[in-house]
């Protein structure tokens, strides 16, 4: 695999260390630094900015060009021409399904949507005003206690069944969070409905009134799921892989991913964008917030802007903006927050601070406005991200366990106290 070599000299070492260099199918070459450990050296890379933590065949991002590929297919083509469950199949299996495979997959997912009745008791233990992400961390981890028949991580069939269960049950669990928070009865999933439609139904129907869901909103919801399905080795996916490397069961690993996603620098950003737009309140206040975002002394950042990998437009944000326009037109909504968002984007994209740092709108910039227009409360935004990303997490977890692996164990540059004796 290594057709090139890097050579490293280190002061104090009288040899040249040769390191293999690997080329992937896309992207930069990667230097294999493992031989360094044998020489008493580690690499130092806080935030893993320059570290490839694994080999993967699932998703590729070219941050400079603004390209995102799942199993080779561009995200904009998938968002326009495919649907979420097909993308789930693709991420999990590596290829698009044929018509028969798709039918079987959709049918399997539809038949795993119900959750164990006992799980309902877990919800009742939470305060009604609990953040739904807190509930999701708890109930998804708790699935480990219910599905003992599929917990052998070395068995490919067990891993597959776990993936099906997670994809199928996440919308049910997520909608239950919302229903619990507003004191309405939980709605059971309906297996004759599509994935996105079922979720919207479980959110907004009641036993007294069926929610009539518009096809435009169903399509928009499905697109939001698709656009969030996977994103390579981000913080939550790396968390899932690391948790999985210890041999922990998949439900526990996905709960770890949900926890990592929650923060405002990651999945919590869609909620933070809306909070920020509300705080701005009026187009006239935008310059003041731009000024704050640029001030190194002020911790405020423009939410929904910037990305660790993209130094160009996030390809997902373009589809999201188009979907946003479609949804607002369908619902006949003239949202002042959208006007603020559009103006903010225009101003930021012309400001040298953002231009020089290559800070562009990311996927979260418009998703919040769409979700708000659909009547989904802000606190559910990150839950919807978690639901959508579950397929990415479980695909990476499955990939990790499908080939030889070892526990993840980063090292450190220790700068603490030297060995000293306890005062006698
Ligand atoms: N507003 C103002 N300045 C920013 C922003 C922002 N949103 N993002 C980055 N910068 C500045 C940062 O201060 C730094 O400036 P300087 O070089 O003068 O110190 C420079 O740009 C580079 O930023 P960084 O912090 O080194 O970038 P990072 O790769 O560590 O952080 C990020 C990436 C996404 C955490 C960050 O851009 C951010 O906090 N954005 C806002 C939160 C957000 O929208 N997150 C969602 C990401 S997309 C969804 C997902 O994948 O989870």
299 CA distance to ligand 1 centroid (A)?
11
Query: Catalytic residue among 70, 131, 231, 307, which?
Result: 307
Atom of ligand 1 at shortest range from CA of 273: 44
Atom of ligand 1 at shortest range from CA of 357: 21
Ligand 1: residue whose CA is nearest its atom 41: 303
Pairing of strands 2-8, 17-22: antiparallel
71, 57 in Cβ contact below 8 A? yes
- For residue 222, the model assigns a pLDDT of 97
Is 132 close to ligand 1, i.e. is its CB under 6 Å away?
A: no
Percent of the chain with pLDDT over 90: 87
Respond yes or no: is residue 116 known to be catalytic.
no
- For residue 391, the model assigns a pLDDT of 98
Tokens at residue 293, please?
A: 């975002």
What's the mean per-residue pLDDT of the chain? 94
Q: How far apart (Å, rounded) are the C-alpha atoms in residues 270 and 295?
A: 22
* Residue 19, helix vs strand vs coil: strand
The average pLDDT across 286-292 equals 96
Write the pLDDT tens digit of every residue in 248-258: 999 999 999 99
Residue 190 in this model has a pLDDT that exceeds 90? yes
pLDDT range class, residue 1, cuts 50, 70, 90: low
| Residue in this structure with the two tokens 């994209």, named with its chain if needed | 349
Ligand 1: residue whose CA is nearest its atom 19: 296
349 CA distance to ligand 1 centroid (A)?
15
Q: What is the pTM of this model?
A: 0.92
Burial of 148 (0-12, 13-18, 19+ CB in 10 A): exposed
303 CA distance to ligand 1 centroid (A)?
9
- For residue 270, the model assigns a pLDDT of 87
Residue 213 in this model has a pLDDT that exceeds 90? no
Write the pLDDT tens digit of every residue in 169-183: 999 999 999 999 999
* Residue 26, helix vs strand vs coil: coil
122 CA distance to ligand 1 centroid (A)?
36
168, 113 in Cβ contact below 8 A? yes
Is 234 close to ligand 1, i.e. is its CB under 6 Å away?
A: yes
Write the pLDDT tens digit of every residue in 305-339: 999 888 888 899 889 989 998 998 999 988 888 88
Atom of ligand 1 at shortest range from CA of 231: 51
Write the pLDDT tens digit of every residue in 37-63: 999 999 999 999 999 999 999 999 999
Q: How far apart (Å, rounded) are the C-alpha atoms in residues 175 and 384?
A: 10
The pick from 306, 314, 320 for probing ligand 1's pocket by mutation, whose C-beta has the most ligand atoms within 8 angstroms, reads 306
Is 368 close to ligand 1, i.e. is its CB under 6 Å away?
A: no
Write the pLDDT tens digit of every residue in 97-107: 999 999 999 99
Ligand 1: residue whose CA is nearest its atom 39: 265
3-state helix, strand, coil in the chain (%, to 5): 55, 5, 40
The average pLDDT across 350-361 equals 93
- For residue 411, the model assigns a pLDDT of 94
- For residue 282, the model assigns a pLDDT of 94
Q: How far apart (Å, rounded) are the C-alpha atoms in residues 59 and 232?
A: 5
Respond yes or no: is residue 266 known to be catalytic.
yes
Is 83 close to ligand 1, i.e. is its CB under 6 Å away?
A: no
Is 305 close to ligand 1, i.e. is its CB under 6 Å away?
A: yes
């Amino acid at each position: 695999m290594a057709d090139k070599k890097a050579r490293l000299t280190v002061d104090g070492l009288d040899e040249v260390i040769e390191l293999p260099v690997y080329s992937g199918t896309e992207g930069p070459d990667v230097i294999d630094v493992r031989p360094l450990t044998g020489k008493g050296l580690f690499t130092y890379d806080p935030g893993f900015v320059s570290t490839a933590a694994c080999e993967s065949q699932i998703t590729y991002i070219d941050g400079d060009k603004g390209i995102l590929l799942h199993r080779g297919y561009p995200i904009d083509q998938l968002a326009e021409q495919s649907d979420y469950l097909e993308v789930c199949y693709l991420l999990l299996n590596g290829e698009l399904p044929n018509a028969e495979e798709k039918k079987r997959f959709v049918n399997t997912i539809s038949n795993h949507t119900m959750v164990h009745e006992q799980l309902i008791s877990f919800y009742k233990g939470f305060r009604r005003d609990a953040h739904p992400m807190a509930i999701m961390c708890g109930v998804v981890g708790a699935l480990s206690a219910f599905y003992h028949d599929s917990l052998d991580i070395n068995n490919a069939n067990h891993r597959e069944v776990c993936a099906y269960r997670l994809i199928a049950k996440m919308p049910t669990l997520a909608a239950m969070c919302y229903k619990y928070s507003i004191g309405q009865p939980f709605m059971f999933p309906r297996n004759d409905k599509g994935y996105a439609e079922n979720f919207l139904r479980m959110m907004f129907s009641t036993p007294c009134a069926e929610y009539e869901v518009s096809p435009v909103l169903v399509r928009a919801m499905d697109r939001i799921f698709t656009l969030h399905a996977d994103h390579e080795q981000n913080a939550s996916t790396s968390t899932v892989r690391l948790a999985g490397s210890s041999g922990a069961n998949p439900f526990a690993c996905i709960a770890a991913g949900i926890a990592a996603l929650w923060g405002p620098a990651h999945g919590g950003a869609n909620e933070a964008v809306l909070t920020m737009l509300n705080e701005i309140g009026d187009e006239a206040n935008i310059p003041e917030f731009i000024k704050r975002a640029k001030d190194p002394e002020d911790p405020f950042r423009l939410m929904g802007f910037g990305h660790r990998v993209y130094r160009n437009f996030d390809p997902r944000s373009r589809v999201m903006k188009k979907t946003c326009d479609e949804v607002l037109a369908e619902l006949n909504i003239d949202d002042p927050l959208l006007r603020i968002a559009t103006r903010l984007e225009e101003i930021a994209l012309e400001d040298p601070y953002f231009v020089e740092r290559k800070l562009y709108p990311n996927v979260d910039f418009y998703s919040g406005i769409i979700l708000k227009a659909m009547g989904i409360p802000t606190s559910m935004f990150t839950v919807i991200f978690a639901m959508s990303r579950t397929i990415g997490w479980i695909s990476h977890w499955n990939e990790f366990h499908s080939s030889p692996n070892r526990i993840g164990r980063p090292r450190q540059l220790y700068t603490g106290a030297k060995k000293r004796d306890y005062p006698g």
